[in-house]
């Protein structure tokens, strides 16, 4: 492509994933001139190796599981998953790893797309090395926004280099099904990929170092998800970690020595053991920061350690909430704040008055597409108690009391928890596990983020007979008055 000869911009954004795109879009909407730099595919990790392909792989497994829970439908489910069709569907949703459409969208916003490896080169300067070896220096009048995301963090284990383990990228872009797959890690990536690859035909062993799957959620979530995985054929092993790995033959099997002395032999091993920031090679040293570090930001996503307030960081790199939707939320707020500051306006008078990432502190939603699904927003009971809140915990077995859930699935397996701040009279957190619950999460997010008084929630009437009737049952349990409206 022909590079712009104009190297001066109001804002330069590093990274053209969904976070960077949202930051650039908000800044453009404020009338500022923006350049966005990308060294890989425009659309980033989420579009090609995480959220989108993983959900495309998972949806067939969940659809079949849902059908098998309904008498009359389960009899129509014959045979096994069509693996080729699943991969074809995944490839369609990632546009066969072709970013032309997303690149055209970025340009359509009026932003300048610069392809290459961008590095900070002192205050308000970004040096970009293009694929052709040319160097272009971009100068930002107002701000540089770092949206470079994160990468898998692999543990320092003997033999891990030789083993050539999968990470989330290979787990979502592979079109070959290993006969035996070991997954190390019990967080969202671990449980989702166990669901997907077991459904695709692998014999999966899931190794969890701790005593629970999904350890950052309420304990009952991991229990129910673990039961679902085990019922699907996954060998779930809690309290197990890997000591060493061996793969002497590059095309051969991987041997894992476990901490209990047993050895596990598989065709591939996936490590889903956390993330590290992609800040090791973006020139942080040129502005006095440590390469490879997380970037500490304030509630407008401005990096605290940088004088004069010109550097922002949104998404995974600031380590607030490593979730695409939270990164996009941060980017919208950062972009609005940059626009307001560039115009010399007070932040609370700019459009919408939204210039602080308050949700990052108390209302982060998260969803995992396992069987059953898991979803949560806000604080767990333990987190709320540790924060000093006086709380009341309300638990409901969804399939036992919600008519919509009973109609949705025979023997509906699920549970919900509501954590109430007794003194303030609003919700601090909601956790849901069960078929279809991810689509209930936004209602919970509104209640938690808006700090809606629990007495007011009685007047948000759920439609009968839907799973959302759960809200009525939770409120009834809170009031200790049980009745059924039909």
Residue 148 labeled ligand binder: yes
Peptide bond into 25 cis (omega under 30): no
Q: What share of the chain is helix, strand, coil (3-state, %, to 5)?
A: 40, 25, 40
Residue 328 labeled ligand binder: no
**Angle (nearest 5°) at CA 347 between 22 and 445:** 55
> CA 67 to CA 451: how far, in whole Å?
37
**Closest C-alpha among 23, 45, 20, 92 to residue 334:** 23
Contacts 24+ apart (CB under 8 A), 475-481: 477/394, 477/395, 477/396, 478/392, 478/394, 478/418, 478/420, 478/454
> CA 168 to CA 274: how far, in whole Å?
10
Q: How far is CA 296 from the centre of its chain?
A: 20
**DSSP designation for 467:** G
CA 339 to each of CA 31, 84, 124, 249, 349: distance values in angstroms, whole numbers, following the listed order: 8, 47, 16, 56, 12
Residue 118 labeled ligand binder: yes
Give the helix ranges, DSSP H, for 343-386: 359-362, 381-386
Residue 82 labeled ligand binder: no
Residue 406 labeled ligand binder: no
Residue 208 labeled ligand binder: no
Contacts 24+ apart (CB under 8 A), 301-305: 301/145, 301/330, 301/331, 301/333, 301/334, 301/337, 301/357, 302/334, 302/337, 303/146
Residue 203 labeled ligand binder: no
Neighbours of 161 (CB within 10 A): 11
How would you classify residue 274: left for phi > 0, otherwise alpha for psi between -120 and 50, otherwise beta?
left
Residue 190 labeled ligand binder: yes
Residue 188 labeled ligand binder: yes
> CA 376 to CA 157: how far, in whole Å?
33
> CA 373 to CA 442: how far, in whole Å?
14
**DSSP designation for 92:** H
Contact present, 99 and 107 (Cβ < 8 Å): no
> CA 483 to CA 481: how far, in whole Å?
6
Residue 55 labeled ligand binder: yes
Where does residue 151 rank: exposed (0-12), middle (13-18), buried (19+ CB within 10 A)?
middle
Residue 192 labeled ligand binder: yes
Residue 211 labeled ligand binder: no
Residue 261 labeled ligand binder: no
> CA 20 to CA 147: how far, in whole Å?
5
**DSSP designation for 210:** S
Q: Which residues are annotated as a binding site?
A: 55, 118, 148-150, 185-192, 274, 316
Binding-site sequence positions for NAD(+): 185-192, 274
Numbered residues of the known binding site for FAD: 55, 118, 148-150, 316
């Amino acid at each position: 492509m022909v590079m712009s000869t104009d190297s001066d911009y109001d804002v330069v954004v590093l990274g053209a994933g969904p976070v960077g795109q949202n930051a650039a879009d908000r800044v453009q909407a404020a009338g500022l001139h923006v350049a966005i730099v990308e060294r890989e595919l425009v659309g980033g990790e989420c579009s090609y190796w995480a959220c989108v392909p993983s959900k495309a792989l998972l949806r067939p497994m969940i659809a079949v599981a849902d059908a098998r829970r309904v008498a009359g439908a389960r009899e129509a489910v014959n045979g096994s998953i069509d693996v080729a069709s699943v991969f074809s569907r995944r490839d369609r949703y990632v546009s066969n790893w072709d970013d032309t459409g997303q690149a055209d969208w970025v340009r359509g916003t009026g932003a300048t797309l610069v392809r290459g490896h961008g590095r900070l080169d002192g205050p308000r300067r970004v040096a970009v090395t293009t694929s052709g070896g040319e160097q272009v220096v971009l100068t930002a009048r107002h701000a540089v926004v770092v949206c470079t995301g994160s990468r898998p963090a692999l543990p320092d284990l003997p033999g891990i280099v030789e083993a050539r383990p999968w990470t989330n990228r290979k787990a979502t872009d592979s079109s070959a099904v290993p006969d035996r797959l070991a997954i190390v890690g019990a967080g969202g990536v671990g449980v989702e990929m166990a669901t997907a690859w077991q459904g695709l035909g692998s014999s999966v062993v899931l190794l969890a170092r701790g005593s629970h799957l999904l350890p950052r959620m309420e304990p009952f979530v991991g229990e129910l998800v673990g039961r679902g995985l085990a019922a699907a054929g996954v060998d779930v092993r809690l309290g197990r970690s890997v000591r060493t790995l061996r793969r002497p033959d590059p095309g051969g099997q991987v041997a894992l020595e476990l901490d209990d002395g047993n050895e596990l032999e598989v065709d591939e091993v996936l490590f889903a053991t956390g993330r590290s920031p992609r800040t090791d090679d973006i020139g942080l040293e040129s502005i006095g920061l440590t390469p490879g570090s997380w970037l500490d930001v304030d509630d407008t996503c401005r990096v605290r350690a940088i004088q004069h307030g010109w550097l922002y960081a949104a998404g995974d790199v600031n380590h607030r909430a490593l979730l695409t939707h939270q990164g996009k939320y941060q980017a919208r707020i950062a972009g609005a704040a940059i626009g307001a500051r560039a115009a010399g306006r007070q932040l609370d008078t700019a459009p919408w008055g939204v210039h602080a990432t308050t949700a990052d502190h108390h209302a982060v939603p998260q969803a995992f597409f396992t069987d059953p699904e898991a979803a949560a927003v806000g604080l767990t009971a333990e987190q709320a108690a540790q924060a000093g809140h006086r709380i009341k915990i309300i638990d409901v077995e969804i399939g036992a009391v919600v008519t919509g859930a009973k109609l949705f699935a025979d023997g509906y397996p699920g549970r919900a928890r509501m954590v109430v701040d007794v003194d303030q009279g609003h919700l601090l957190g909601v956790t849901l596990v069960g078929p279809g619950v991810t689509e209930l999460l936004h209602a919970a997010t509104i209640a938690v983020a808006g700090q809606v008084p629990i007495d007011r929630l009685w007047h948000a009437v759920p439609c009968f007979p839907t799973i959302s009737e759960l809200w009525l049952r939770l409120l009834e349990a809170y009031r200790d008055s049980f009745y059924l409206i039909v």
